[in-house]
Amino acid sequence: MVRFSRIVVTIINILALLWSIFIIFVSLAVINDGPIECNTFYPIQNLLYGVFLFSLSLVALIGAIRANRRLLMVYAGVLFVWFVWLIGSSAFLFVVSKVCDAKAVKDHKEYKLNEYPGWLRTYAVDGEKWVPIKRCMYSCCQPPLQCGFVSKNDTSWEIPRSGILSGDTDCQSWKNDLDQACYDCNSCKAGYIRTLKDSWFNNALSNAFSSVFIFIGFWIAFWAFRQAPRADHQQHTSNTASVA
């Protein structure tokens, strides 16, 4: 039983080390393939995560194999900080994802930008922030319902004979050109914020789920640290063996 927790730490971190190497190689392969126009942050984020996991796993392995209390303490401490960060970020993302939810029109998923708080609009879509976002959109933004446009097909809309039914600026921004469409419309920006908030909620759930396993890992690492012999005990054992 004395060595059981260190054996578990060793097994877990051998697997974590292999997984981190896989993440690093895949991330480097994606980055080396050339410039990424969309989602440029994720390969770099994954690479940094892989390096972090590799380093932490290496510390844990050396600490467990050599029964080194200092390394096991560092490992347990990092896991505890990681656990606290996951809990905190999960709570924060959950609260932010639920703030001022916009109501969608049935079967059209139409949102209004002014239904979201100003700080969220500033963070997500204001000014030049919107330029790279709309460039990476792959689905066509539809004109708002109040404009009264008549649909010809999934990507083409016509102004009714009676004219545009609303003075909304979104109605003036609409174009059938797929490179423009309604990407500059406030309703399109509101839809993007809704998608962003959904991703925050999913990340909150993911972080909460991951925190359970991190806490279990911390508990095992803590017991491995507790069971590892102290330096003075190792020295005493060594001296006794030398005298004998």
- pLDDT tens track of the chain, all 244 residues? 457 888 999 999 999 999 999 999 998 988 887 656 676 668 888 999 999 999 999 999 999 999 899 999 999 999 999 999 999 999 999 988 877 554 544 445 667 888 888 888 898 888 888 888 888 876 767 777 778 888 777 667 787 777 777 777 888 877 777 777 778 888 888 888 888 888 999 999 999 999 999 999 999 999 889 888 775 444 444 444 444 4
Angle 78-83-85 (CA atoms, 0-180°, nearest 5)? 95
**17 neighbors 1 (Cβ within 8 angstroms):** no
Distances (CA, A) of 49 to 2, 21, 72, 172: 32, 11, 20, 45
pTM, two decimals, is: 0.78
Amino acid at 240: T
Q: Provide the sign of the torsion angle of the four alpha carbons 196, 98, 173, 163, taken in this order.
A: positive
